[in-house]
Copies of this chain bind each other. A is one copy, B any other.
Amino acid sequence: MTDEVRTDDFVSIYEVGLRDGLQNERGFIATEDKLVLLEALLDAGLRRLELTSFVSPKWVPQLADAEEFARRALPSRSGTTLSALVPNDTGLERALGAGLPEIAVFLSASETHNRKNTHKSIDRSFEVFAELVPVALAAGVRVRGYVSTVWGCPYEGPIAPERCVAIAERLLLLGCYQVSLGDTIGVGDPKQTRDIVGRMLAVVPREKIALHLHDTRGTALANILAALELGIREFDASVGGMGGCPYAPGAAGNVATEDLAYMLERMGLETGVDLERIIAAANVAERIVARPLPGRLHRAGPFKPRAAS
């Protein structure tokens, strides 16, 4: 959540399409196109956005323009938080050099998935964070933490929720202001979501928890509903439903920003997102990735009855 005072009816949508979405698209998307999409997302009212990732371009060539994109994206964005993933000290240096006000560190609740995704053990990830996070904080940069495969791992299967909670707590203890819990391969169901979120809420205030749900099996909005009922008020989403994880077999996109905004707004909750404009942004996303995206609202349109003919 932002630092602003919000009523309980405000639900923050954290847009990750430019990073989590585009990193999984085939081929490099021009910086110019990313800037056009960013403008469309800002126009739609999104105020928390992850721009890119300062990982090695060797691993994620789609985001090789991280510095240039950040440099061109950052000026004059008051009231907006732009962030980027940072895997290590080198990434942090690049992020600080680019002048980002926020970064995100990430690891997996599954040892196997963490090794495949980051080439480190979970313990080694925390050693890296223990050096990196204080440097970021000292530079006035806020740090968000991602925990992936919380709802299940493609290699290890179910992950004990106690383990996920312990990892999230360690991230918060290191200085992350929030942890975003990921259903990386989109296997979660609402009952499991209640269990995981309930366990988190037993030890952590709700504003420190966000959910990052992939919609691989269509359950993301139902899981979000279950979390909303427990008081969670921030959800990551990706315009058009772009995204996935190249190291998680079968992973489809994040929950689509426009579908999430539609459901929340129809429920009388506030998102700050304009539905017509987020549909326009999803159409921009579809054009620049040059493939149909799985989100629904940008095809169906919002609920606008037409006059009987």
Chain A interface (Cβ within 8 Å of chain B)?
112, 116, 152-157, 185-192, 215-219, 221-222, 224-226, 249-250, 252, 256, 259, 262-263, 266-268, 295-297, 299-301, 303, 305-308
| Contact A305–B222 (Cβ < 8 Å) | no
> How many copies of this chain does one complex carry?
2
Nearest-neighbor residue (CB-CB) of A259 within chain B: B218
Residues of chain B with a CB closer than 8 A to A263's CB: 189-190, 217-219, 222
Residues of chain B with a CB closer than 8 A to A225's CB: 190, 222, 225-226
9 A-B contacts (beta carbon < 8 Å): A152-B305, A156-B308, A188-B266, A189-B267, A190-B263, A217-B297, A218-B221, A218-B263, A225-B225
| Contact B305–A153 (Cβ < 8 Å) | yes
| Contact B250–A301 (Cβ < 8 Å) | yes
Nearest-neighbor residue (CB-CB) of A219 within chain B: B263
A161 CB → nearest B CB, Å: 15
Alpha-carbon separation in the docked complex, A185 to B224 (Å): 22
| Contact B249–A306 (Cβ < 8 Å) | yes
Residues of chain B with a CB closer than 8 A to A190's CB: 225, 263, 267
Nearest-neighbor residue (CB-CB) of A115 within chain B: B308
Residues of chain B with a CB closer than 8 A to A301's CB: 250
| Contact A259–B217 (Cβ < 8 Å) | yes
Alpha-carbon separation in the docked complex, A186 to B191 (Å): 24
